Amino acid sequence: MIDFFAKRLKWVESLSPMQMIVFSFMALIVLGTILLLLPWTTRGKGLTLVDGLFTAVSATCVTGLTVVNIGSEFTLYGQLVVLGLIQLGGLGIMTFSTFFLYIFGRRISIRGREVIDTTLSYAPVQNIGSLLRKIMIIVFLVEGVGILLLTLNWLRLYPLPEAIYYGVFHSVSAFCNAGFSLYGNSFEGFRTDLMVNCVVMGLIVLGGLGFVVLLDFKHLLRRPRGAIHRFSFHTKVVLSVTFFLIILGTLFLFWVERVHALSDVKPTTGVLAALFQSVTARTAGFNTIPIGSLTNGACLALMFLMFVGAAPGSCGGGVKVSTLGILVAVILSRLRRHEKPHLFFRSIPRETVGKALAIVLSSVLLISVLFLGLLLTENWSVSPNESRGHFLKLFFEAISAFGTVGLSMGVTPQLTKGGRLLIILLMFIGRLGPLTMAVALAQRKTRGRFRYAKGEIMVG
């Protein structure tokens, strides 16, 4: 069977690693759309083509935005299709396919090795098979612990089979930073449940750190007694920026909402809710506070967290926490008149700085252009005085889609077909990354035969 498909997909080997990543996601989306359009997917009338495509893209790109209620309107079959798309999309279909080739003793091609290097590591990997095996063990171990803890907690609410199913669905969704929930109002009903909050937050953070960081933790746990383990430079940057964003987001959200959305709860519950929302804005998409009831300041903070997102090589989206760390280092180095930006006593290469700037600028441009499209498709004839709230909701939706977060102020089911197609495009590009898309679409690198003279220009 493997030989059959390998011979007929031989042309895939001619694609570049970036193009293979794009192709694998597109193929999974097409398959998911077909499966979701089957009549037994929903309990009522079936999904339209646009709604099926929207749901398939949202699940594959681990976003969580939905135009239908997954828990109440989808059958068990439909929910399992969504769960499968989340798992495959979260880790990457190429990672799964390469892993199974390795399991069945098949030779991993050079192109497949390049794809794994591109998606899972910042440096070339010598033993791809060993890396994939370690990653799969970590993934299923973490998800398994999450399933066990959530199931034990929900046994007081549901019979054992249902508690297990709820534990499986939400553990996978949380670790993959998908944000899909079987509850219509996400986890708003579990705002005071310490176990659910802590387990879900732990899964979100671990899924958003990236596999390089998780493997670094694995080496820390397995180090010989008395030996000193030093985290890699990448791990230090990811952990420090992640910790800073979570703590700062928690303090700010609690401060601005303590007399508003959190005014009717105890301070300890308010802090827990603010912490949960700060963590989940890192591309997860769950919520224990109604997003539509938040103040403008809180919405702005969430949009910033969603835009930054998770770490490279993880299940999350956004421009990535390492990119933010690099830009902060560049700003500080300029203010201090240092020749090169540095973090943790390590200088940052000029090429890396250029990539970080390109990612942020292209992301801002992409969001701006597609947000303009949303303004044209959704109530384009309404004056600003009549649509100020709608403007914020659409902007929030656009950033949430690009960051593959899934938080919404309630406008997703109200989007027109044109608006849904724009959100689909944002989710797809946001999952793969603007830079990945640009490289994938490029046919080849062109090297100039000469260099232009330098030109001076004023900035600032």
pLDDT for the residue 56: 93
What are the tens digits of pLDDT across the range 237-250?
999 999 999 999 99
Whether pLDDT at 5 is above 50: no
- Residue 289 to residues 207, 278, 405: CA-CA distances in angstroms? 22, 11, 15
pLDDT for the residue 117: 57
Selected residue with higher pLDDT from 54 and 89: 54
pLDDT for the residue 26: 87
Q: Percent of the chain scored above 90 by pLDDT?
A: 39
> Which secondary structure element, helix H or strand E, spans residue 375, and what is its range?
helix 350-377
448: pLDDT confidence band, cut at 50, 70 and 90? Answer: low
How do the residues of the chain divide into helix, strand and coil, expressed in percent and rounded to 5?
A: 65, 0, 30
Q: Which of 40, 31, 42 has the alpha carbon at shortest distance from 66?
A: 42
pLDDT for the residue 89: 84
171, β-bridge pairs: none
123: pLDDT confidence band, cut at 50, 70 and 90? Answer: low
14: pLDDT confidence band, cut at 50, 70 and 90? Answer: low
Q: Is 54 helix (H, G, I), strand (E, B) or coil?
A: helix
What are the tens digits of pLDDT across the range 362-388?
899 999 999 999 988 887 666 666 666
pLDDT for the residue 441: 52
Q: Is 430 helix (H, G, I), strand (E, B) or coil?
A: helix
> How far apart are the C-alpha atoms of 19 and 32, rounded to whole Å?
20
Selected residue with higher pLDDT from 10 and 224: 224
Domain ranges, ordered by start, for the chain: 2-223+231-441
What mean pLDDT do residues 399-413 have? 90
Which residue has tokens 């914020």? 392
172: pLDDT confidence band, cut at 50, 70 and 90? Answer: very high
> How far apart are the C-alpha atoms of 51 and 33, rounded to whole Å?
9
> How far apart are the C-alpha atoms of 219 and 196, rounded to whole Å?
28
Whether pLDDT at 425 is above 70: yes
Q: Which of 286, 246, 253, 278 has the alpha carbon at shortest distance from 406?
A: 286
CA angle at 414 for the pair 407 and 51, rounded to the nearest 5°: 85
Selected residue with higher pLDDT from 236 and 223: 236
pLDDT for the residue 106: 55
> Which secondary structure element, helix H or strand E, spans residue 343, and what is its range?
strand 342-343
pLDDT for the residue 135: 80
> How far apart are the C-alpha atoms of 122 and 419, rounded to whole Å?
36
pLDDT for the residue 132: 75
1: pLDDT confidence band, cut at 50, 70 and 90? Answer: very low
Q: Tell me the HSE value of 348 on the side-chain side, using a 13 A CA sphere.
A: 24
Whether pLDDT at 279 is above 90: yes
Alpha-helical (H) ranges within 260-320 are 267-280, 296-308
What are the tens digits of pLDDT across the range 283-309?
888 999 999 889 999 999 999 999 998
> Which secondary structure element, helix H or strand E, spans residue 22, and what is its range?
helix 17-36
Taking a C-beta distance cutoff of 8 angstroms, is the pair 409, 392 a contact?
A: yes
> How far apart are the C-alpha atoms of 390 and 342, rounded to whole Å?
42
> How far apart are the C-alpha atoms of 221 and 246, rounded to whole Å?
24
Taking a C-beta distance cutoff of 8 angstroms, is the pair 292, 409 a contact?
A: yes
What mean pLDDT do residues 438-457 have? 62
Q: Over 296-308, what HEC string results?
A: HHHHHHHHHHHHH
151: pLDDT confidence band, cut at 50, 70 and 90? Answer: very high
Mean pLDDT score of the chain: 82
42, β-bridge pairs: 74
Q: Is 91 helix (H, G, I), strand (E, B) or coil?
A: helix
Q: Percent of the chain scored above 70 by pLDDT?
A: 78
CA angle at 341 for the pair 338 and 344, rounded to the nearest 5°: 110
Task: Name the most confidently modeled range: 43-52, 104-113, 220-229, 270-279.
Answer: 270-279
Contacts of 294 (CB under 8 A, 6+ apart): 257, 260, 261, 302
pLDDT for the residue 275: 95
When mean pLDDT is compared across 12-26, 207-221, 350-364, the lowest value belongs to: 12-26
Q: Is 93 helix (H, G, I), strand (E, B) or coil?
A: helix
